[in-house]
A and B are shown apart, each in its own frame.
Chain A
Amino acid sequence: MKFGYTSWLPETELVNTFTEALGNNKLLGTRCRKCKQKYLPPRAHCKCGSTELEWFDAPNRGKIRTYTVVSFAPESMSKYAPYIVGIAEVEGGMSLMGQLTGVAPSTLKVGLPIQIVAHHPNTDRTVYKFKPA
């Protein structure tokens, strides 16, 4: 299973674990065992230099910090346009980019409570998306 609406990067162990869990509706982040820094999306190495990271269940709720409606999409995404991309503040002090569905752009406001759910753009791809909570 590949991650995202589009991408060509190799599916590393980190991304495979993340994507597989996402398919089971679990959002995973990584946490540094040394400095306790949490990463969502996950990283294989900590910015403190440590390579000792462990998986944790991230909260699947948050609120919209900001958003845009992409009308003019990159070549690889034109079939999906227009679409909303937002940044959500996730409970626990994390922040995540994703697409948002289930809300009319004209009624959308910063601060909208959302939940983070798995989405399958097609049979071999998985991504998370935001929808109103």
Chain B
Amino acid sequence: MPSKVGIVGIGHSKFGKRADATIRELAHEAVRPALEDAGLTVGDMDASVIGIAGEEFAMQGAPAAVVHDYVGMRNKPTYRVEAACATGSAAIRTAWALINSKLHDVVLVIGAETMTRVSSARATELMARAGDTRWEYPFGITFPGFYALMATAHMSEFGTTREQLSMVSVKNHKYGAMNPYAHLQKEVSLEEAVKSIIISHPLNLYDCCLISDGAAAVVMASEEKAKQITDTPIWIRGLGAASDSMLIAERPTLTGLMGTKAAAKRAYEMAGIGPGDVDVAEVHDCFTIAEIMAYEDLGFCEKGKGGKFIEEQQSYIGGEVPVNIDGGLKSKGHPLGATGVSMAVELVKQLRGEAGNRQVSNAEIALSHNVGETGQFVFVHIYSR
């Protein structure tokens, strides 16, 4: 049996178009409050695990080395982790394993990315190259395009509507407007969201997450250390990870992610809970259809009923499972490496009861779901008080 690992400190930079800071300064902006929150200094850290997805975006080779040194970790071990858009969650899983192996007791996890140094067309190009460069990229498919293929299939098979896609965006912008760290802190009406410009039919601008700069950090510790450090550790109760085929065309179904189902099953089993026990969730809404598929694949509703789930506001505070109450990737932003760590930061706040006007009352069990690419990397983590 693995032993418990706790999160004892959290920190978050402002997400956004951050021309005022490079990746090292963004990381510092997240690390400083995380250490303060834990009541520790950088000298108390045994190692760092750093999640940064792409040096093409950072325009710095081996960017983790720069970050590790800048936050004051010289002479300590560091590990750079990469799992595309799920990089941050891969970093947390890696730190969990390092602590459980007893190699380290206290680990600083940093997720960071700068993405706005390049034009939107360039960013689209760089992300398209994360598709298969032999058999997918040569046809001009983009990341919005991949998810648009799933949206068309979902709409055709289950009757999911244009309005239901936009309702995800309306919800996430509503909560993002209440999150001081969010990139785009503004509400959007259903009409605006439905009518915005098409990026890759049927997905429009308001179906797509933001291209952002930002960082997030957590301090993780062994059970014994966590109890010494704080009276309110948040425990990782379950972890699940899985992957799907590289070529999307090879998949028997295009209306969901097999990796999500497999990862969720493993995480639920490890935690000894089911989807009905989840009080609050962070799911990977890189595109609105991705959040709808996540409701289904995580078991919050039946397959094909994700559109109805958002239409009935079951993923709002007060609904069955409040989802992305920090604005999600859609409104908070999606700096690739930072996203998974940011999900952990939000859920720790919710479980501690520190989420302010976005607090889900009596949240005891929380779930994060982070997807890299179109499901080639999937991580599900379950947290509790």
A binding-site residues for B, Cβ under 8 Å = 3-9, 15, 41, 65-78, 80-81, 83, 85-87, 95-99, 105, 109-110, 127
Q: With A5-B139, A74-B142 known to touch, is A68 a contact of B149 (CB < 8 Å)?
A: yes
Specify which of B133, B135, B199, B254 is in contact with A41 (CB 8 Å cutoff): B135
- Is A7 within 8 A of B145, CB to CB? no
Contact A66 B139 (CB under 8 A): no
**Given known A68-B149, A75-B125, A105-B201, contact A85–B141 (CB-CB < 8 A):** yes
Q: Judging by beta carbons under 8 Å apart, are B248 and A97 in contact?
A: yes
The residues of A that contact B249 with a CB separation of less than 8 Å are: 87, 95-97
- Chain B binding surface SS class: helix
Q: Which of B115-133 contact A (CB under 8 A)?
A: 120-122, 124-125, 128, 133
B125 near A69 with CB under 8 A, answer: no
**How close is B46's CB to chain A, nearest CB, in angstroms?**
39
**Which of A76, A109, A110 meets B125, CB within 8 Å?**
A76
B255, closest chain A residue (CB): A66
Q: Which of B150-158, B236-244, B318-326 contacts A (4 or more CB under 8 A)?
A: B150-158
Nearest B-chain residue to A15, judged by Cβ? B134
Closest to B152 in A: A66
User: Of the candidates B122, B152, B199, B247, which one forms a contact with A75 in the assembled complex, judged by CB atoms under 8 Å apart?
Assistant: B122
The 4 residue pairs across chains A and B that have the minimum distance between CB atoms: A4-B138, A68-B148, A77-B140, A69-B201
- The answer on a CB contact under 8 Å between B149 and A83 is no
Residue pair B138, A75 in contact (C-beta under 8 Å): no
Instruction: Establish whether residues B140 and A73, one from each chain, have CB atoms under 8 Å apart when the complex forms.
Output: yes
For A98, the chain B residues whose CB sits under 8 A away are 139
- A-side contacts of B97, CB under 8 Å: none
Contact status B138-A68, CB under 8 Å:
no
Contact assessment for A9 and B250 in the assembled complex, using a CB-CB cutoff below 8 Å: no
Chain A residue with the shortest CB-CB distance to B126: A74
Which residues of A are found within 8 Å of B199, using beta-carbon distances? 71-72
Q: Mind listing 25 A-B residue pairs with CB under 8 Å?
A: A5-B138, A6-B137, A6-B138, A41-B135, A65-B153, A67-B152, A68-B151, A68-B200, A69-B200, A70-B200, A72-B124, A72-B200, A73-B121, A75-B122, A77-B140, A78-B121, A81-B140, A85-B140, A95-B250, A97-B136, A97-B248, A105-B201, A110-B152, A110-B156, A127-B139
B21 at the interface (CB under 8 A from A): no
| CB <8 Å contact, A7 and B200 | no
- Residues of B close to A76: CB separation below 8 A: 125
For the complex, give the distance between the alpha carbons of A2 and B307 in Å. Answer: 42
Give the residue name and chain of the B residue nearest to A68 (CB).
B148
B140 & A99 in contact (Cβ 8 Å cutoff): yes
Asked whether B144 is an interface residue with its Cβ less than 8 Å from the other chain, the reply is yes
- Complex Cα–Cα for A111 and B134 (A): 26
Contact digits for B182-210, partner A, Cβ 8 Å, 1 yes 0 no? 00000000000000011111110000000
Given contact pairs A65-B153, A66-B150, A87 touches B248 in the complex (Cβ within 8 A): yes
- Measured CB to CB, the closest approach of chain A to B57, in angstroms, equals 14
B254 near A87 with CB under 8 A, answer yes
Q: CB distance B142 to A70 under 8 Å?
A: yes
- Cα distance A75–B119 in the bound complex, in angstroms: 10
Residues in B neighbouring A75, C-beta threshold 8 A: 121-122, 124-125
Complex-state Cα separation, A96 to B153, whole angstroms: 15
